[in-house]
Amino acid sequence: MKKIRNAIPNIFTLLNLLFGCISITFLQSKCFEYSAICTIFSLTFDFLDGFLSRFMKNESKLGKELDSLADMISFGLVPSIIVFILLKNIEGNQKVPFIEWSAFLIAIFSAWRLAEFNIQNSSRKNFGLTTPVNALFFTSLSILKSRNIDFLVLSPIKMLFTIFFSCYFLISKITMLSLVFKGISWKKNKIRYLFLLISIFLLLILHLIALPCIIIFYIITSIYFHRFRKNSH
């Protein structure tokens, strides 16, 4: 019974991996919305495996390695393939030969981030942009493309800058804003509540366009408070 109980978090990790693989098969057919649904499932199972590991006090070395391998597929390779497809399908005067291969820098830097995360001690693990948030950003761009809302997205220069900043933030030492609420009090969670309220406001005003905007806002907010904390010490 204990072995089954200990295996539960790893089952959720493998489900994360499974939906990452399914997401890739949908991307081969340019079914961006179905791929996005799979990514949401991967994110959900990724959250659950970590939550259950902590709740059950069962954070094993096997689970840690499985989690990184699953994240590499679901949140490293998937966004790379999304950007590859977006760049490959640019037509007309904006087409740049071989530019689509730059998309796999996301996978490379995601692997770097995951490896560095595994060797950091627990007090320094809140650095840089997480691979799930990074994947969610590129997934949101693919949804905009599928709805023909791509005036903010599809240009080789914009995409190259987006890839560059994505890779930079994945391995940066910037302490990102933790979205884990500490109880329900306003005083302890003021920044989180404000971020949540602004995100809801953006969703109501901008609808789908709000998705990448919220993640950009999250990064900017994290940079600001990272600087604030450094200056206050």
Residue 154's pLDDT band, with cuts at 50, 70 and 90, is low
- If you average pLDDT over residues 198-210, what whole number do you get? 88
**Do 140 and 198 sit in the same domain of this protein?**
no
User: Does 159 share its domain with 103?
Assistant: yes
- Which stretch of 16-20, 56-60, 62-66, 133-137 has the lowest confidence by average pLDDT? 56-60
CATH code for the domain of 71: 1.20.120.1760
Q: Which pLDDT score, from 0 to 100, does residue 163 have?
A: 95
Between 155 and 218, name the one with better pLDDT. 218
Q: Are residues 38 and 141 in the same domain?
A: yes
Listed residue (133, 130, 134, 132) closest to 103, CA to CA: 134
Tell me, what's the pLDDT at 101? Answer: 95
Give me the mean pLDDT over the 62-69 stretch. 87
Q: Tell me: do 156 and 219 sit in the same domain.
A: no
pLDDT tens digits for 38-60?
999 999 999 888 777 776 666 67
141's tokens: 């761009």
Asked whether residue 6 falls in the same domain as residue 54, the answer is yes
144 vs 149: CA distance, rounded Å: 5
The verdict on 141 and 85 lying in the same domain is yes
**Which domain, by its residues, includes 215?**
175-233
Res 193: pLDDT: 87
pLDDT of residue 145: 84
Domain end, chosen from 173, 189, 209, is at 173
pLDDT of 206 higher than 80: yes
Structure tokens at 104: 């796999």
Tell me what the mean pLDDT of segment 101-108 comes to: 96
* DSSP label of 151: T
Class of residue 16 by CB neighbours under 10 A (exposed 0-12, middle 13-18, buried 19+): buried
Q: What is the pLDDT of residues 158-169, one digit of tens each?
A: 889 999 999 999
Q: Which of 199, 89, 81 is nearest to 145 (CA)?
A: 89
169 and 179 both lie in a single domain: no
**pLDDT value for 52:** 76
- The reply to whether 54 and 136 lie within a common domain is yes
119 and 54 assigned to the same domain: yes
Task: Clarify whether residues 119 and 196 are in a common domain.
Answer: no
- pTM of this prediction? 0.87
Write down the pLDDT at residue 4: 65
Residues 188 and 153 in one domain: no
123 and 15 together in one domain: yes
Mean confidence (pLDDT) of the chain: 85
Domain termination residue (choose one: 145, 173, 201): 173
Determine contact, residues 6/62, Cβ cutoff 8 Å: no
Confidence at 153, pLDDT banded by 50, 70, 90: low
Looking at mean pLDDT, say which of 33-42, 43-52, 83-92, 96-105 comes out highest: 33-42
Number of domains present in the structure of the chain: 2
Cβ atoms of residues 16 and 71 within 8 Å = yes
Last residue of a domain, one of 173, 188, 223: 173
